[in-house]
Structure 1
């Protein structure tokens, strides 16, 4: 099987990352925009020793899992991978992918993966968009990168964005409101809710101020459920101390403060720390303090001083935890960890390390914070043996 060669595949599953999986001549072939049950004609575009990647030429027999994509740019834009698959099947696919990641990467023999909590809205759920700009001979383009990551797809609207974001995209396009070619534009939903340089987000009837340049959970309709899951794992019994690592603007801290005598939030982004302190004050939280620092440095210092902590909440970026942070966590010997992740692969890698240091994965709850895309959020609970 060589590059540019064509073959006919029976697609048997969908791999982590969103591509359908088929086999030909003993070779595993990954084909984007296919579904389990498809019979497809495919052209080989990349060949490796153990696998190949293919380009979909056509569907001969469509899978019963298929549905009509809502977005006119689907298949070209690199944002969504699953719009051609009915939503209930997307959830099953993601649950299986999380299990496989913890089996193969995490080396967990029987991953305790629960059913995926669905997003109440499978479309129009995102509260933030970051679009790229480019100046071309035909004028300014505004959109997302294509499936190759090399070209900009000029878009008029995005179907997974909350509608007020699409209105802002339309306004920006009509005014060509771009600082310069190649710059990014960030849009938040309901822009009239801003206070100064902050964006206002509401979770479980509580308002949070978030810096425009900062991070906040993107799904407007599922964040409440994620907070509920974190609080459930933290338990009803009050703990002496909780450490909220990578706390952002204090989302989890505000809700976990009631479960601790004292809570410390650590965040590297200075503006987010400023708003975390303000959010705590606005919500009447008096037992929390927030530190602008690297979480690895903070945990390493705690280990050296032999400071005790009863619960650590971890919510790192997609890259997961760095070796310094993992080493420090193991030295601190905290009895309970809650690990929130938007990347099951790096989370599974980190869980493998933590397991070797004496932690056991007790539960793993996926939440579909990123419907129609290849991404999935997971909340893991680890207990020290």
Structure 2
């Protein structure tokens, strides 16, 4: 079996080494490890291997504090010292974006570390197995690893055993969303909620004084019991109220830093025209509107748009309007209407926004701020913007997800 030296990390559970001139991806490896590995699959450009023996451990390797690692597939970097996790994320961002765009990016200090590497998640989503077993999938499989607590969840988050057992085989997943002392549970059902499901949810609510509300979801169908709203503070003095089953960032402290950075990049002033694509419930739209900008927020999720509009009305942000429409269709419409934003903000899902790049280019906004949780799709889309005359002005990373390979990235591009 080959012996390899791990030279770098990827955005994933893998460290990378080389053998016979070919890259080898090794799950659970750490840059600096020397390993005896077994090749488990061959691809055209690389091989995938598993660790047989750690011959020399990296100085950044540690024993994972969580007893469920490595069986649980959630925290795929927990075996790495936290300071090194942050450094590795900066190195991957700098390498991937630098290679894609042909620019030099300094990885030092690129990623803002989280104040704490544990207890940061304001919401967790648990799989429900037979007899109400709760847990997360094991790495690379659909096998549920049963847990009774999660180290990265906020300390107040409890296991929703009562709801899981009450709903039985009809429930697939349950989210627990926490804001201070307020807890809402969201059950994802296999079929739309029947009256019996609602009756059982109400019984759970009545018997547990810590739960404020329960949402029963199946696709776009939803039913509620109790009060399902939560408050999310976007920045000092600005909080929004949203239903717990709408998307919100899990790391509230880091999200406030991201919002502050995006507002700094946007440099909005009174009457600035801002187009916020994939705006959700207004994570960036409402802070921009608070600064006097004329904001148009767009998202395909009608529930999120309704929440953003309600919050704008409550806050008396009269120059904020929100549209429930696919972002690409909206950008084309605005181009035909000769709308010219000064700043475009987009925060697409992990798959990025390849169909949106050409419409954005047509709008010729002086500034584009692209927020992403996937460096590969981000690099792909930024390459298109760069080809149309946009130049990267600033890159910042925010570690929303300590002990995993995931990271939020904000890139500010200017039209030259």
Distance of 1:87 and 1:101 partners within structure 2 = 21
Q: Is contact 1:314-1:339 (8 Å) kept? A: yes
- The 5 A counterparts of 1:233-382 are 233-235=265-267, 237-323=269-355, 325-382=356-413
Total equivalences in the alignment = 372
Residue 302 of structure 1 and its aligned partner are, at CA, apart by 1.0
Distance of 1:327 and 1:44 partners within structure 2 = 42
Counterpart among 154, 160, 168 of residue 152 in structure 2: 160
Q: Mark the CA change 1:158 to 1:320 in structure 2 (over 3 Å): closer, same or farther.
A: same
Q: Secondary structure at the match of 1:46?
A: strand
Q: Mark the CA change 1:99 to 1:271 in structure 2 (over 3 Å): closer, same or farther.
A: same
Q: Secondary structure at the match of 1:149?
A: coil
Distance of 1:155 and 1:145 partners within structure 2 = 11
Q: Secondary structure at the match of 2:230?
A: strand
1:209 aligns with 2:241: yes
Counterpart among 171, 175, 185 of residue 174 in structure 2: 185
Q: Mark the CA change 1:209 to 1:179 in structure 2 (over 3 Å): closer, same or farther.
A: farther
Q: Which has the higher contact order (CA 8 A, sep 6+)?
A: 1
Distance of 2:164 and 2:396 partners within structure 1 = 44
Distance of 2:277 and 2:104 partners within structure 1 = 28
Query: TM-score scaled by structure 2?
Result: 0.84
Q: Mark the CA change 1:175 to 1:249 in structure 2 (over 3 Å): closer, same or farther.
A: closer
- The 5 A counterparts of 1:79-118 are 79-104=74-99, 106-111=100-105, 115-118=110-113
Match of 1:16 in 2: 11
Distance of 1:232 and 1:76 partners within structure 2 = 41
Distance of 1:121 and 1:73 partners within structure 2 = 20
Cα RMSD, aligned residues only: 2.0
Q: Is contact 2:127-2:144 (8 Å) kept? A: yes
Distance of 1:173 and 1:11 partners within structure 2 = 45
- Runs of 4+ in structure 1 off by over 6 angstroms are none
Specify every segment of 5 or more residues in structure 1 that has no aligned partner in the other structure, as ranges: 1-5
Q: Secondary structure at the match of 2:253?
A: coil
Query: TM-score scaled by structure 1?
Result: 0.91
- The 5 A counterparts of 1:58-69 are 58-69=53-64
Distance of 1:160 and 1:217 partners within structure 2 = 14
Q: Mark the CA change 1:173 to 1:258 in structure 2 (over 3 Å): closer, same or farther.
A: closer
Specify every segment of 5 or more residues in structure 2 that has no aligned partner in the other structure, as ranges: 184-211, 214-226
Residue 55 of structure 1 and its aligned partner are, at CA, apart by 1.4
Residue 379 of structure 1 and its aligned partner are, at CA, apart by 0.6
